[in-house]
Structure formats: C-alpha cells, structure tokens
A = this chain, B = another copy of it.
C-alpha cells in the first residue's frame, strides 16, 4: 500500500466507512470487493465496485490481487451487459476525492443523457428511483453473477 502522500487513511476514509455499513444496494460481496448499485441512477444500471482494503493505486496491489480485482470487475460488467443490454460499458477508476480503489461501472446507451461523451460531461441532479425499482435492479444483476 502506498498512502503516505495522502492525508486520507483507513480511519477517515469515506469508502472504508461505507464498506462497514449495511447497504440496501449491495449487489454482491466478492472476496476482495463489494459491488453496489449506485444510489444515483441518472445513468441506469450504474454500479460501483469498492475494494475492501484501503489501497490507493492499482500498482499498489500484488499481481494476484490485481488479477482478482479485475476478474470481479469483468464479471460485474458482464452481468450489467446481460441485465441492461447497453451499447457500451464504461469502466473508470478515479479516486481524486476518495483515494481508495473503486471502479465506476456504467452501462451506456445510445440516446442516454450524455451519449457518446463521458458521463461527467453532464452535470445533473441525482435520480433516486423508488425502493422497489432499486430492489428489482439489484435482484436482476444478482441473477447474472
């Protein structure tokens, strides 16, 4: 792990805190990471794959740990493909605000609000579907995992 250049560590990291809480939007807990449906569904099917340990960069992982994390990213993306049948999947690991490994996995559709640009090009108010819709999305993705 390489967090010495950052003032965020596992005791004050928002993702570490989030991972400890029970979430209604948890899709699957893998051995190394947890897949959540993103609360904001402005982009339908948007999920986040949060790494369980506080690690900043991909190259801070061992080869084995990196391969496993990417395997789970790929499984999650494939499940989103089967669930929502998007035209493309976007995979983004940023962490500028919260430097703890987490993948944004975003199904993209021709005709979605930002197509064919990155999702960040479209500022918007969060869209929070009703609970039954969220539960249905979670259950459908789980079927494909």
Contact = CB atoms under 8 A, between A and B. Distances in A.
Interface of A: 5-6, 56-59, 61, 63, 66-67, 70-71, 73-75, 77-78, 81, 87-97, 99, 108, 115-118, 120-121, 123
A103 B59 CA distance: 15
Given A57-B77, A67-B70, A97-B116, 19 more contacts: A6-B87, A58-B70, A58-B74, A58-B89, A59-B74, A59-B81, A66-B70, A67-B67, A88-B96, A88-B99, A90-B92, A90-B94, A91-B93, A92-B93, A92-B94, A96-B116, A117-B120, A118-B120, A120-B121
Nearest to A115: B96
B71 A66 contact: yes
Which label, helix, strand, loop or mixed, suits the secondary structure of the A interface? Answer: mixed
A116 B87 CA distance: 29
A141 to B, nearest CB: 14
A55 to B, nearest CB: 12
Contact of A120 (B61, B66, B120): B120
A40 to B, nearest CB: 15
A77 B58 contact: yes
Contacts of A115: 96
